């Protein structure tokens, strides 16, 4: 045993002498290989260090990332695809753009550190379905918003994944500036993918985003899975929504753990007259096995920007802990659009203010030009097979006068009220529907009925996409 150890030691010494005499000051990086599952595998592989990247936490890697991706875009253009490996280290970077047939792969000990310098985020036009950014004064908000840290538009087949490697938004400075009104433009998100098809964002950890974390918009065939999203809870980190599918179709969100200062998942589709004109709904969305802690917001919110419509959302096996509300519909006069065919089942809630909340007077308009005759249609909302504990109010359901929310169905839901619960557990105005096996006893506008609530039996196409077993292999190399 001792003999072998000595031999190994001698070998190591000889090897390292050999290296340092051969090329002084040159670090030899370990070779690395890994397996992961993805919608598509890639033929070509490069490391950020091949493009001058330095993972010391202080060197800016914005140019290295963009150079790497531009280079790989050419190689991958024939569809063979390319993947960019980010090794262990702290990689400070500003915004960079992804490309098609491309995978960004983070090693488990890789941390992308988001620059806190506004100049590292190019200005983009406001989203057409929003007409303006959400932060900043109107005159600025209508001309620009900061690009997300990781941005992609008009892409096909793009993946951001890893071994739970980290993207650290370093949001504290942004939150402070936002609260002091010192920001001219809307804060960057961590990941925004726009006008794209076949998108996968999986197995990464997102920390302290300046604002929303993951924003797929105007995209279809999107898989988001295995994300851990963490930000301090409100009021420290304003608007740090977890995942915001926005005017997207055929989307699967699964196995995510989210603790944040705003809604864990917020389903959206544009704002007032801009969203109505753009008319692109979010539809065919499955959310499953989500665990959420959101003390001041919702586990799943629909809206408030829903002017392009939201239809066919299925959520199941959801765990809510210490959250303000379980499922919340937010809308207002002037939004137009619709929220239809929403199905939620098997949700477990522990310590909630409201299990169910619907708000018809959310307000918060893009500008003063919204159409007061544009009334949202809220119809066909089904909640079933749920247990909640330590709840302050079972439900607060507020439709719109002259525009009631209809077809609300709640079945097999048991809500355990908190010791200090409100005396009246349900308040309902301008809503209609029915209930079956619900306690405490619901309001009169949701009378008992014989039938239980529906849930679609056919899976969405995105749920049957089989991920492939991909591998990534980086040879030993010098830097």
Binding site for ligand NAG (CB under 6 A): 66, 95-97, 108, 122, 124, 147, 151, 153-154, 163-164, 195, 203, 346, 351, 385, 387, 390, 412, 418
In the bound state with ligand NAG, the residue whose beta carbon lies nearer, of 88 and 122, is: 122
Q: Is 455 helix (H, G, I), strand (E, B) or coil?
A: coil
CA angle at 310 for the pair 305 and 314, rounded to the nearest 5° = 125
Residues 6+ positions from 4 with CB-CB distance below 8 Å: none
CA angle at 248 for the pair 163 and 276, rounded to the nearest 5° = 150
Look at residues 264, 276, 369 and name the one whose alpha carbon lies nearest to residue 321.
264
Between the CA of residue 33 and those of 36, 65, 203, 301, what are the distances in Å? 10, 21, 17, 39
Look at residues 42, 34, 161, 56 and name the one whose alpha carbon lies nearest to residue 106.
161
d(CA 109, CA 405): 48
CA angle at 469 for the pair 230 and 101, rounded to the nearest 5° = 75
Q: b vs e for 330-345, b when ≥16 Cβ sit within 10 Å of the residue's Cβ?
A: bbbbbbbbbbbbbbbb
> What 8-state DSSP symbol labels residue 444?
T
* Min dist. Cβ of residue 46 to ligand NAG (A): 19
Judge contact between 135 and 79, C-beta under 8 A: no
* Min dist. Cβ of residue 418 to ligand NAG (A): 5
The rounded radius of gyration (Å) of the Cα atoms in the chain is 24
Give the catalytic positions in this structure: 262
Neighbours of 20 (CB within 10 A): 12
* Min dist. Cβ of residue 241 to ligand NAG (A): 21
In the bound state with ligand NAG, the residue whose beta carbon lies nearer, of 141 and 333, is: 141
d(CA 290, CA 464): 19
d(CA 62, CA 168): 15
* Min dist. Cβ of residue 151 to ligand NAG (A): 6
In the bound state with ligand NAG, the residue whose beta carbon lies nearer, of 375 and 386, is: 386
d(CA 271, CA 337): 10
HSE-up (13 A, CA, CB side) for residue 268: 26
In the bound state with ligand NAG, the residue whose beta carbon lies nearer, of 163 and 296, is: 163
* Min dist. Cβ of residue 42 to ligand NAG (A): 18
In the bound state with ligand NAG, the residue whose beta carbon lies nearer, of 66 and 319, is: 66
* Min dist. Cβ of residue 98 to ligand NAG (A): 9
* Min dist. Cβ of residue 57 to ligand NAG (A): 21
In the bound state with ligand NAG, the residue whose beta carbon lies nearer, of 251 and 378, is: 251
Edge-to-edge strand ranges of the sheet holding 214-217: 96-97, 150-153, 191-194, 214-217
In the bound state with ligand NAG, the residue whose beta carbon lies nearer, of 166 and 331, is: 166
In the bound state with ligand NAG, the residue whose beta carbon lies nearer, of 52 and 363, is: 52
d(CA 318, CA 191): 24
In DSSP notation, 308-326 reads T-EEEEEEEEEEEEEEEEE
* Min dist. Cβ of residue 218 to ligand NAG (A): 7
* Min dist. Cβ of residue 203 to ligand NAG (A): 6
d(CA 330, CA 354): 14
d(CA 383, CA 402): 24
In the bound state with ligand NAG, the residue whose beta carbon lies nearer, of 12 and 125, is: 125
């Amino acid at each position: 045993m001792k003999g072998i150890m000595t031999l190994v030691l001698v070998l190591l010494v000889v090897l390292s002498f050999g290296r340092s005499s051969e090329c002084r000051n040159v670090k030899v990086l370990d070779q690395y290989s890994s397996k992961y599952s993805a919608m598509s595998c890639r033929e070509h592989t490069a490391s950020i260090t091949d493009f001058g990247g330095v993972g010391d936490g202080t060197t800016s890697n914005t140019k290295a990332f963009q150079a790497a991706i531009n280079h790989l875009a050419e190689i991958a253009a024939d569809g063979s695809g390319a993947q960019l490996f980010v090794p262990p280290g702290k990689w400070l970077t500003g915004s960079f753009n992804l490309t098609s047939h491309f995978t960004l792969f983070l090693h488990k000990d890789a941390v992308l550190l988001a620059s806190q310098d506004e100049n590292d985020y190019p200005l983009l036009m406001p989203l057409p379905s929003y007409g303006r950014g959400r932060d900043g004064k109107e005159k600025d908000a209508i001309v620009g918003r900061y690009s997300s840290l990781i941005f992609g538009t008009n892409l096909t087949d793009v993946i951001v994944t890893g071994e739970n490697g980290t993207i650290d938004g370093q949001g504290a400075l942004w939150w402070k500036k936002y609260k002091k009104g010192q920001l001219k433009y809307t804060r960057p998100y961590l990941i925004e993918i726009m006008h794209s098809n076949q998108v996968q964002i999986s197995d990464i950890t997102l920390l302290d985003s300046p604002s929303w974390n993951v924003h797929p918009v105007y995209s279809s065939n999107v898989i988001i899975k295995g994300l851990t999203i963490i930000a301090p809870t409100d009021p420290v980190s304003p608007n740090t929504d977890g995942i915001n599918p926005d005017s997207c179709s055929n989307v699967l969100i699964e196995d995510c753990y989210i603790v944040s200062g705003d809604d864990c998942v917020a389903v959206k589709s544009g704002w007032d007259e801009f969203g109505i004109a753009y008319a692109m709904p979010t539809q065919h969305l499955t959310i499953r096995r989500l665990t959420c802690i959101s003390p001041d917001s919702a586990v799943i919110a629909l809206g408030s920007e829903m002017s392009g419509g939201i239809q066919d959302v299925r959520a199941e096996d959801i765990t809510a802990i210490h959250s303000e509300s379980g499922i919340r519909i937010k809308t207002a006069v002037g939004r137009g659009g619709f929220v239809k065919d929403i199905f939620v089942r098997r949700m477990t809630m522990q310590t909630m203010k409201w299990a169910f909340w619907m708000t018809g007077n959310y307000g918060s308009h893009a500008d003063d030009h919204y159409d007061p005759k544009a009334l949202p249609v809220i119809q066909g909302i089904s909640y079933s097979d749920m247990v909640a504990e330590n709840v302050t109010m079972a439900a607060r359901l507020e439709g719109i006068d002259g525009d009631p929310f209809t077809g609300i169905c709640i079945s097999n839901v048991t809500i355990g009220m908190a010791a200090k619960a409100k005396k009246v557990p349900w308040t309902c105005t301008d809503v209609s529907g029915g209930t079956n096996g619900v306690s405490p006893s619901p309001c009169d506008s949701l009378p008992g009925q014989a039938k239980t609530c529906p849930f679609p039996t056919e899976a969405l196409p995105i749920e049957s996409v089989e991920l492939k077993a991909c591998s990534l292999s980086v040879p030993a190399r010098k830097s």
